[in-house]
Amino acid sequence: MSHTNQTLGEFIIENQSSFKYTSGELSRLINSIRLAAKVVNHEVNKAGLVDILGAVGDTNIQGENQQKLDVYANEKFIQTMTKRNIVCGIASEEEDDFVAINSQDENHQNKYIVLIDPLDGSSNIDVNVSVGTIFSVYRRVTPVGTPVTIEDFLQKGNQQVAAGYVIYGTSTMLVYTTGDGVNGFTLNPAIGSFYLSHPNMQFPEDGQIYSVNEGNYIHFPKGIKDFIKYCQKEEEDRPYTSRYIGSLVSDFHRNMIKGGIYMYPKSSKNMNGKLRLLYECNPMAFLAEQANGKASDGFTRIMDIEPTELHERVPFICGSKNMVEKAEEFMRNA
């Protein structure tokens, strides 16, 4: 099949057999994420009209309760995945504990679990900056036929079977991997279909962009400070360009296309950094590695970190392989 104008649905069908666990359930799961992405996209794009439609907590002109968009996104993703009767449990940044999905699966036969950040960077919505949804998919490890437990969620990132993000930007894209490379699909809002626009996405091995909140510079470890000064030094292909928009999905997406590094290090203010291991760092690390990039906490591969709790945070360095390795070198030698 010609890949020009291939829809996400056609791509899933064409590539179904290449997925080693192929049984169609993962395809149906990706399809449920596709539906939720379109529903959330519609609401995110209306956000600027909230004054007309009613502020959060009010009832809008349709008489609907105006919800915070991250709460809305959380509900929509959980709802669509539940209805497809594929997952046995979901963990979310918006939920204190994991949500066991038993509604249509009273015999606990479903074998996938999903972890999501339903609307990362949602504080940017008020200033019209792109935001994103991040998702991570595993097979359960406890016996099928029993209720899902926390053990199913505390798996290392190297056990992921799929991961991806939706970026609600100048266009809305779904970018994901099932372990066979990274592909990007752009939504045509006129007809509500995603089209393969970025096949086989790859991080350039080198880049000229570094993304970090330099307002925290004085709180960073010495190795990170040394790497930032390296990026700014007038020599060879430097100084690099600093680009940081406070939205992980957007900074990651730009760096994957152009080459670059994103860092959210630990600091004296955030001893483990800010980003969550299970539903931010692991899925972005899976994508990065599948796109010839790299992701670590400065010393350890992100996907090899043993999780201990659902919402734990880790320092995060991710992007073009040579840039991540240079940052790791400064961290080792600090």
Among 166, 248, 295, 331, binds ligand P6P (CB under 6 A): 248
Number of residues forming the site for ligand P6P (CB under 6 A): 8
Segments in the chain forming alpha helices (H): 8-15, 25-45, 50-53, 69-83, 222-232, 248-258, 282-290, 321-333
Residue 334 to residue 228: CA distance in whole angstroms: 13
Question: Which region among 96-104, 240-248, 283-291, 322-330 touches ligand P6P (by CB under 6 A)?
Answer: 240-248
The residue among 71 and 150 lying less far from ligand P6P, judged by its C-beta, is: 71
DSSP assignment letter at 268: S
Window 274 to 333, contacts with ligand P6P (CB under 6 A): 274-275
Nearer to ligand P6P, 36 or 125 (CB): 125
Contact between 179 and ligand P6P per CB under 6 A: no
Tokens coding 12: 């899933």
Which DSSP state fits 290?
Answer: H
Binding of residue 79 to ligand P6P (CB under 6 A): no
Using CB under 6 A, which of 169, 179, 246, 307 touches ligand P6P? 246
In the structure encoding, which two tokens stand for residue 79, read together?
A: 């709802």
Residue 103 DSSP SS3: coil
Residue among 6, 92, 186, 247 that touches ligand P6P (CB under 6 A): 247
Q: Is the sign of the CA dihedral 295, 301, 304, 310 positive or negative?
A: negative
Q: Nearer to ligand P6P by C-beta: 228 or 248? A: 248
CB of 213 to ligand P6P, least distance (A): 3
Tokens of 225: 């400070």
- For residues 240 and 252, which CB has a smaller minimum distance to ligand P6P in the complex? 252
120 near ligand P6P, rule: CB under 6 A: yes
Q: Count CA atoms within 13 Å of residue 150 on its CB side.
A: 7
In the numeric block, which tokens belong to residue 200? Answer: 């086989």
Q: Which is nearer to ligand P6P, 89 or 164 (CB)?
A: 164
Residue 191 Cα to chain centre, angstroms: 25
| Burial group, residue 269, by CB count within 10 angstroms (0-12, 13-18, 19+) | exposed
How many Cα atoms sit within 13 Å of 48 on the Cβ side?
A: 5
Candidate segments 21-29, 178-186, 224-232, 241-249, binder of ligand P6P by CB under 6 A: 241-249
No. of H helices and E strands in the chain?
8, 13
Q: Does 213 bind ligand P6P (CB under 6 A)?
A: yes
The count of other CB atoms within 10 Å of the CB of residue 9 is 15
CB of 112 to ligand P6P, least distance (A): 25
Window of 2-10, 16-24, 219-227, 243-251 that interacts with ligand P6P by CB under 6 A: 243-251
- To the nearest whole angstrom, how small is the minimum distance from the Cβ of residue 56 to ligand P6P? 18
Can you tell me the distance from the alpha carbon of 246 to that of 197, in angstroms, rounded to the nearest whole number?
25
**Binding status of residue 169 toward ligand P6P by CB under 6 A:** no
Query: Counting contacts by CB under 6 A, is residue 121 touching ligand P6P?
Result: yes
Closest CA to 157 of 305, 19, 265: 305
Tell me whether residue 123 or residue 146 sits nearer to ligand P6P (CB atom): 123
Residue 116 interacts with ligand P6P (CB under 6 A): yes or no: no
Residue 321, CB-side half-sphere exposure with 13 Å CA sphere: 10
Which residues contact ligand P6P (rule: CB under 6 A)?
Answer: 120-121, 213, 246-248, 274-275
